[in-house]
Amino acid sequence: MPLDPVEVAHVALLARLGLDGEERRHLGADLDRILDHVSALQRADISDVPETAQVGTLVNVWREDVPAGSLSQEQALANAPDTDGEYFKVGAIQE
Amino acid sequence: MSSAGLTAAAMAAALRRGEVTPQELLADARAQVSRLDSSLNAFLALTDDLADRQAERATEMLRDDRLGAGPLCGIPVALKDVLCVEGYPTTAGSRILENFRPPYTATAVQRLLDGGAVPVGKTNCDEFAMGSSTENSAYGPVGNPWDVERVPGGSSGGSAAAVGAGMVPISYGTDTGGSIRQPASLCGVVGFKPTYGRVSRYGLIAFASSLDQVGPFAHTVEDAAVAYAAVAGNDPRDSTSVIDAVEDPLSALRDGVRGMRLGVPREYMGDGLEAGVRERVTEAIRVLEELGATVEEVSLPSTELGLSTYYIIAPAECSSNLARYDGVRFGMRVERPSLTETYLRTRDQGFGNEVKRRVMLGTYALSSGYYDAYYRRAQKVRTVIAREFDTVFETVDALVCPTSPKVAFTTGAIQDPVEMYLNDALTIPVNLAGLPGISLPCGFSDELPVGLQVIAPRLQDARVFRVAAAYEAATEWHRHRAPLVAA
């Protein structure tokens, strides 16, 4: 079932991708093609398979809470597109 | 005479004998880069002052045993541009990180620096490591050293080409679905993907965190083993780092394959293979048999589902990981009056097509109403694929098969995304199951390199090197260099 343009626009907004109409058409067609390919998954027999979060044998790791050095404010702000010297600066959040 | 094209082992021996200095090796590496990189585009940035400092440090270390020289002390290396080096540009091949300078260094890189390795520069790659040809880099495609009109494979194409062109004897890449092994195969070099969790991901720019793994490129299996050992081992800064001690990958290197049971998965020798690849790999398997291994056909029935599973799980993880590129704390920002508009424009202009495609796909697969049918199901199929490997490893010690279904293709030849994804059909299942795998040269088809893949059970990284080393010792392919290396 092909993705309709409204659905593509919805996913683009969820993904915070400001696509133009042309890009939405292209990506929508690509997604159709890929989703068609991955539909093979629907045929897999997974009846005896437990919910999977990982396939290794990792277990949760804990450590003592030891104070250690971290980035200075200056380092943390060094790559910011805009700051007021102490904080990250962004445009209005409420519209 | 230039040291270009020599192995790291040969360079290390010359350094220890005092026949060459780290500065001379670095100068040779730079000369090779400056001669060839205008046509290859393997490097995005040179880390000149860091390299000079490290060469000086290596000189001291080689003079004084107490200074902790590692096996790569004084050896020029290159780093895929997804590995953070404090203060040096790290772009991940993306516009969105064009001016980013990391405030800290990746653990793998720190281990190299501590041992005296000399990082020449950062290598080109597909944007955020998403691709199989390095054509998705925002900074232009990379040429294959065997034919510059062809792709080097990807996503670690710059790292593979840098070794293939004799610029450095060792480089590092990352492998999420084949991004070390496939370019190694296409560039005629060795590429090793360790067991998931063997090398720390701290300071690695994340693509798909449950699959990403750092590993080396080299001319020989021994060099790759040394380069792997130099960065492997537990790191408390990566919660998925394996705690078990690393088995010395050099320990079994000369043990041979006599008495070993090797499996050839039927599904990896199917119709999708080019004839030349099938012939070379079949010959390579015969060599292993002549060396005393028993070879039998085995079956991994869900191999075909690997690609579909991967193309849900990897995009799902990437859509989440790449949410951080929002133009607020680092990276590019396209300023708009409202914050939402700023996000939309920043990400539209900062990301390239393949990244957008995967972010869209992942967001879709995780969105309400589709999560069960796609992500949840793909995760379960991942378990099925891992179990099938477990089952065959009850009867065989390792698997041997092709790395890539085809040799290097012409830049621009593949436009369809699904056709491009098929390049990784034989490497992806290894990532899904978290296993170690290597690609090593096993001959040529139409004068282009073919790679043999060796796969072993989880944590049996040393066994991968053992099988690969036995094949390499019996053949001469690892001595071949692309003609442009010496030109």
Q: Which is higher by pLDDT, A90 or B171?
A: B171
Tell me, what amino acid is at B71? P
Q: What is the mean pLDDT of chain A?
A: 90
pLDDT band at B184 (very low <50, low <70, confident <90, very high): very high
How many whole angstroms from its chain centre is CA B51?
A: 22
∠ Cα A58 B389 B286 (to 5°): 135
Integer Cα distance of B168 and B161 in angstroms: 10
Q: Does B475 touch chain A (CB under 8 A)?
A: no
Contact indicator for B129, B136 with CB cutoff of 8 Å: no
Contact indicator for B192, B213 with CB cutoff of 8 Å: no
pLDDT more than 70, % of chain B: 100
Q: Which is higher by pLDDT, B376 or A91?
A: B376
Contact indicator for B310, B428 with CB cutoff of 8 Å: yes
Class of residue B349 by CB neighbours under 10 A (exposed 0-12, middle 13-18, buried 19+): middle
Q: What is the mean pLDDT of chain B?
A: 97
Q: Does B425 touch chain A (CB under 8 A)?
A: no
pLDDT given for residue A15 in this prediction:
97
Integer Cα distance of B177 and B442 in angstroms: 21
Phi and psi for B448 in degrees, rounded to 5? -115, 145
Contact indicator for B337, A11 with CB cutoff of 8 Å: no
pLDDT given for residue B392 in this prediction:
98
Which chain A positions have a beta carbon within 8 Å of B177's beta carbon?
A: none
Mean pLDDT of B309-314: 98
pLDDT given for residue B1 in this prediction:
80
Q: Measuring CA to CA, which residue among B291, B258, B282 is closest to residue B442?
A: B282
Mean pLDDT of A34-46: 94
pLDDT band at A94 (very low <50, low <70, confident <90, very high): confident
Give the lowest-confidence range in A45-59, B25-39, B342-356.
Answer: A45-59
pLDDT given for residue A60 in this prediction:
83
* Domain at B8-260+396-485: CATH architecture: Alpha-Beta Complex (3.90)
pLDDT given for residue A56 in this prediction:
80
Q: Alpha helices, DSSP H only, in B64-205?
A: 107-114, 157-164, 181-187
Integer Cα distance of B359 and B319 in angstroms: 4
For A6, A18, B419, the CA distances from A24, given in Å and listed in that order, are: 10, 9, 21
Complex confidence, ipTM: 0.95
Q: Token pair for residue B472?
A: 């390499």
Mean pLDDT of B29-55: 98
pLDDT given for residue B237 in this prediction:
93
- Residues of B designated as active site: 80, 155, 179
Q: Does A15 touch chain B (CB under 8 A)?
A: yes
Strand, coil or helix: B294: strand
Class of residue A70 by CB neighbours under 10 A (exposed 0-12, middle 13-18, buried 19+): exposed
Q: Token pair for residue B89?
A: 């540009």
Is residue B440's pLDDT more than 60?
A: yes
Mean pLDDT of A65-78: 93
Is residue A1's pLDDT more than 60?
A: no
Which chain B positions have a beta carbon within 8 Å of A54's beta carbon?
A: 210
Q: Does B326 touch chain A (CB under 8 A)?
A: yes
Integer Cα distance of B468 and B403 in angstroms: 13
Would you kindly state where each structural domain of chain B is located, as residue ranges? 8-260+396-485
Instruction: Report the Cα–Cα distance between both ends of chain A, in Å, rounded.
Output: 36
Comparing CB atoms, the residue among A23, A33, A41 nearest residue B417 is: A33
Comparing CB atoms, the residue among B210, B236, B307 nearest residue A54 is: B210
pLDDT given for residue A95 in this prediction:
60
pLDDT band at A91 (very low <50, low <70, confident <90, very high): confident
Q: How far is B146 from chain A (nearest CA, A)?
A: 32
Q: How many CA atoms lie within 13 A of A84 on its CB side?
A: 4
Q: Measuring CA to CA, which residue among B374, B406, B428, B410 is closest to residue B150?
A: B410
